[in-house]
Amino acid sequence: MKTGEIKMETSVLETIIGGSRLGIMGGTFDPIHYGHLVAAETARIELKLDKVLFIPTGTPPHKIYRQVTDAHLRHEMVEMAINSNRNFKVSGLEIEREGPTYTIDTLRILHDIFPEQELFFITGTDALRELLTWRHPEEIIKLARIVGASRPGYDSRNLLTKINRRYPFTKDRISELEVPALAISSTDIRTRVKNNKSIRYLLPDEIRLFIKDNKLYQNK
């Protein structure tokens, strides 16, 4: 992202974000589905967050092996999906940045913009496992509390204890969040579309129609 764009994004963020506790939901959102939305809403309520900011990734460093849908289309889908919740916002912070995007860079920017806000990085248990392999995990955890949302298919038993034991700096900075179980994934949705199977009720209906209209995920 160029400096001018960062400034613009910053002013956009400043006008929309208030309060003292900010949730951050990062993801590829290719496409966004009810699993993401339920995790974000549960975190918002349980942790008394003022807002949850959805940040679609630009070029995700760990997903370079597959073709990810154009970032602006993914951003548009997120925008549509959260439109009816005034406590949910979307930011183009990562999609405008060139090259791979790293969570640490995003958190540094958000911390600079909102030095007074406590940041909560919401992630499913699958991504929580990997978190400690990301760039600068110690700084990530210093800048944001981590919220590990339960996700069907990923065993999270003793995960926190194991993480705390192995990485002592994580102590008291990661919490687990019980989310109504939805075994929905973007991968499964993409596979269904490719195989002409229904994706109804796995994600908001406008997103289903958007996928259809834009012929996403169809190529074999």
Residue 123 in the binding site for ligand ATP (CB under 6 A): yes
Smallest gap, in angstroms, from Cβ of residue 12 to ligand ATP?
22
CA atoms within 13 A on the CB side of 173: 23
Cβ-Cβ contacts under 8 Å for 150 (sequence gap 6 or more): 124, 125, 156, 176, 177, 178, 179, 181
**Nearest distance in Å: CB 124, ligand ATP:** 2
Asked if 204 and 211 count as a contact pair (C-beta separation under 8 A), the reply is no
Among 13, 55, 184, 211, binds ligand ATP (CB under 6 A): 184
Does 151 engage in binding with ligand ATP (CB under 6 A)? yes
Instruction: List the beta bridge partners of residue 146.
Output: 121, 174
**Angle at 199 (CA atoms; ends 198, 202), nearest 5 degrees:** 145
Nearest distance from C-beta of residue 103 to ligand ATP, angstroms: 10
29 binds ligand ATP (CB under 6 A): yes
Structure tokens at 2: 């160029």
Q: Of 78-86, 134-142, 165-173, 177-185, which segment contacts ligand ATP by CB under 6 A?
A: 177-185
Structural contact between residues 28 and 68, judged by C-beta atoms closer than 8 angstroms: yes
Which of 129, 182, 192, 214 binds ligand ATP (CB under 6 A)? It is 182
The 3-state secondary structure of 36-65, one letter per residue: HHHHHHHHHHHCCCCEEEEEECCECHHHCC
- Residue 91 binds to ligand ATP (criterion: CB under 6 A): no
Rule CB under 6 A: say whether 27 interacts with ligand ATP: yes
Contact (CB, 8 A) for 117 and 20: yes
For residue 51, what are its two tokens? 């807002």
Asked if 185 touches ligand ATP (CB under 6 A), the answer is yes
Contact call for residue 28 and ligand ATP (CB under 6 A): yes
Q: Smallest distance, Å, CB 36 to ligand ATP?
A: 5
**Residue 74 interacts with ligand ATP (CB under 6 A): yes or no:** no
Closest residue by beta carbon to ligand ATP: 124
Applying CB under 6 A, among 187, 197, 212, 218 the residue interacting with ligand ATP is 187
Contact (CB, 8 A) for 27 and 56: yes
Residues making contact with ligand ATP (CB under 6 A): 27-30, 35-36, 39, 123-124, 126-127, 149, 151, 179, 182, 184-187
